[in-house]
Amino acid sequence: QVQLVESGGGSVQAGGSLRLSCVVSEYGYNKRLMGWFRQAPGKERVGVAAIDRDGLTPYADSVKGRFTISRDNTKNTLYLQMNDLKPEDTAMYYCALGRDEWSFRALESSEYTSWGQGTQVTVSS
């Protein structure tokens, strides 16, 4: 069974930066769609960013220009660099492994089959 383990969350002030990491146990994960999602208290889980087999990287409008998703296939690791953080970015962040190599709905949770346990990001004003 594939395992995804996130790290890198924490508490920062508005305008600060964090880099989340997600180590994937599955061999060949680099050929699959991967994504970052977040869920704030009382709200639904939403897609933040994704990266597919060909390196295409769709982003949610709310994070465009501030967040960058990337992957290091030599380390089986997915990253999310988050800059200029805002209080509204406060949420639990999850990485996820997609069902296929790419998707037109890459920011929809239904396209993903495996999830990490989450890492908390808190941004204070």
* Pick from 79, 42, 41, 38: nearest CA to 62: 38
Token pair in block for residue 114: 């495996």
**What's the pLDDT at 28?**
64
Specify whether the CB–CB gap between 66 and 84 falls below 8 A: yes
Residue 80 has pLDDT above 90, yes or no: yes
Q: How far is CA 61 from the centre of its chain?
A: 14
- In tens, the pLDDT along 21-70 reads 999 987 667 789 999 999 999 999 999 999 999 999 999 999 999 999 99
Indicate the average pLDDT of the chain.
95
